[in-house]
Structure 1
Amino acid sequence: MAEQYIDKALLGVIREKLWKISNERRITLEDIEDRTGFSYSQVYRIVRGTNNISVSGLVAVCKALEVQPSEIFNFDVVIPKYPSVRKERKG
């Protein structure tokens, strides 16, 4: 089985945004726990941890922070230059 892909740098960007918003709005990890129904350890892993984040978990935290997910994902990533797609190469 292949190892799960985790982009730690990207997760760091997302977590910093979540943490900044929670601090600006004075919404604690306990508040997020209450609003999501997640355990404190789940909330901590999403907002402050280092493991991968599920999309559903991230959206739940966005709702708890009263912020649209697009605000969290408002950043650029480096897009590699890939070879043409397989359909075009068979041509």
Structure 2
Amino acid sequence: MPKQYIDTNSLEKIREKLWAISQTRGITLEDIQDRTEFSYSQVYRIVRGKNNVSVSHLIAVCKALEVQPLAIFDFKIEIPKFSELRKELKSKK
């Protein structure tokens, strides 16, 4: 079974933004817990932890923080240079 892919760099950027927004707005982890109905440990793992997180959980936390997801995903990632697409390879044959 292949290892689960986790982009730790991007997750760290997302968590930094979540934490900064919660601090700026004065919304505690307990408030997020109340607003999402997640357990405190789930909220902690999403906002402060190291685990991978689902998109659905991120959306719920965005709602709890009263912020659009764009504010959380407003960062750049490195895009690797990929090989040609399969359709491009087929057209060369």
Q: Given the two structures, how large is their TM-score scaled by the length of structure 2?
A: 0.96
User: Residues 35-76 of structure 1, C-alpha deviation per residue, up to 9 Å, x if partnerless?
Assistant: 000000000000000000100000000000000001100111
- The alignment status of 1:52 with 2:55, answered yes or no, reads no
- The alignment status of 1:35 with 2:30, answered yes or no, reads no
The percent identity for this pair of structures is 68
**Displacement of 1:87 after TM fit?**
0.9
Q: Secondary structure at the match of 1:42?
A: helix
Q: Secondary structure at the match of 1:67?
A: coil
Q: Secondary structure at the match of 2:77?
A: coil
**Amino acid aligned to 1:72:** I
Q: Given the two structures, how large is their TM-score scaled by the length of structure 1?
A: 0.98
In the alignment of these two chains, the number of paired residues is 91
Gap regions ≥5 residues in structure 2: none
* d(CA) in 2 for partners of 1:90, 1:49: 45
* d(CA) in 1 for partners of 2:31, 2:49: 17
**Amino acid aligned to 1:15:** R
User: Residues 8-54 of structure 1, C-alpha deviation per residue, up to 9 Å, x if partnerless?
Assistant: 11100000000000000000000000000000000000000000010
Gap regions ≥5 residues in structure 1: none
Which protein has the larger Cα radius of gyration, Structure 1 or Structure 2? Answer: 2
State the Cα RMSD in Å: 0.5
